Amino acid sequence: MQAPGSPDEDRDGEFEHGGWMDDYQDERMEVVNDQISEADALLLGRKTYEIFASYWPHFEPADDPLATELNSMPKYVASRTLDAVEWHNSTLLAGAAEAVEDLKNDRGGVMLVQGSANLIQTLLAHDLVDEFRLWIFPLVLGDGKRLFGDGTIPEALELTDVETSNTGVQILRYERAGEFESSSAAR
């Protein structure tokens, strides 16, 4: 999930395969607009926030409905290094796990995490993800950041929606379906 947008987006771990997503874009992938429209807020890690905040505020409202939506919706930023966030309607969170749990309890609604690989690991380790909206690309990079890294709590998921783009990207939605139960392959 590392650096889909550009080669220099995220070089952590000496990752050299950034910018892999563009060749797979097609009209069916516009579902990202629907996913953002369904959300009441964005929850972002520092790197994704910095990428978005350097890009989306520069659109005029009439230029791009997605930009209008992103610029106006509440944005919560989990960071251990930022002192302030300046993108309109952004709030800096201290202590990601506790702050997100408080947000979920206090505000309700749908908070969408976009990108934010490090933040997702924290959310997974603290059992704070209710639904997964995954895009699986027909591509193997071999290294880079993983969605389900060490510390992910095992659990069962139920597929609730699937779409396939013309370029072979699977756009999947999973809801939580309880605890993972192992079974024996022997019958």
Mean pLDDT of 18-26: 87
Domain ranges for the chain: 12-179
Per-residue pLDDT reduced to its tens digit, 136-157? 999 999 888 888 877 788 889 9
Q: What was the pLDDT predicted at 148?
A: 84
Helix, strand, coil abundance in the chain, percent, nearest 5: 30, 20, 45
Q: For position 20, what pLDDT does the model report?
A: 87
For the domain bounded by 12-179, which CATH number is listed? 3.40.430.10
**Which residues are bridge partners to 170 per DSSP?**
136, 164
pTM recorded for the entire structure: 0.85
pLDDT (0 to 100) of residue 95: 83
